[in-house]
Copies of this chain bind each other. A is one copy, B any other.
Amino acid sequence: MKSLPPKAKPEVTVDVVAFTVEDSQLKVLLVRRAREPFVGTFTLPGGFMWEGETSAQAALRNLRTKSGVDSNIFSEQLYTFDDPQRDKRGHIISVAYMALVPLEKISKHISLDVKLAPVADVGQLPFDHSQILAYATKRLRTKLGYSNVAYSLLPKLFTLSQLQDVYEVILGHPIDKRNFRKKILSLGIIEPTEQKLTGRKHRPARLFKFAQRSYAELEEPIF
């Protein structure tokens, strides 16, 4: 291998894959680019990392300034994408983050420049954002299997059917209702409340809450 000039250094950006579940579909937040390259097309929100901040801060800052989504959401670093060709402007590496947001915290920010796209049919995204999205989707699926992350996609109170829907949508296959309830309750990560969800045209569902609304890994896998 040739020695390149040791003083030429790549620049660092962050990109955020913000997921939510809507209408029994896994969706990702996309924003319209304000600049070249790819002005006007929808991409993952992202931008340059600044000196003095962490990439995690940069990720949330970019998510906030580009989409308005803010406040107390789950996020975690995924992977650093660094193919020298990934951005035509030069060698720009990207630290990718995944954010999980309950729908209620996104809806009000939807606009002409901020949209939710079903992951199943986003099509091609600019840069290597399709690759980043694929990586994030896989990570989310895996993570669901050994942690309580589902809390970050649901409101404080939810029904078991809503919870099951989150699992089915992300795992991509149906789950038996009785087995799901047995399993999830035996893990002790959620607790029943006295409240019920009424006003639907069927039997009211009991509302549950997560025992802990912060990330925790489980001893034994769920699946």
Contacts and interface: CB of A to CB of B under 8 A. Distances in A.
Nearest to A13: B9
A95 interface: yes
A180 interface: no
B4 A48 contact: no
Contacts of A54: 82-84
A95 B95 CA distance: 10
Copies of this protein, total = 2
Question: On chain A, which size bracket covers the interface?
Answer: 20 to 34
A10 B8 contact: no
A51 interface: yes
A136 to B, nearest CB: 15
Contact of A48 (B6, B79, B84): B6
Interface of A: 1, 4-6, 8-12, 48-57, 61, 77, 79-80, 82-84, 90-91, 93, 95, 221
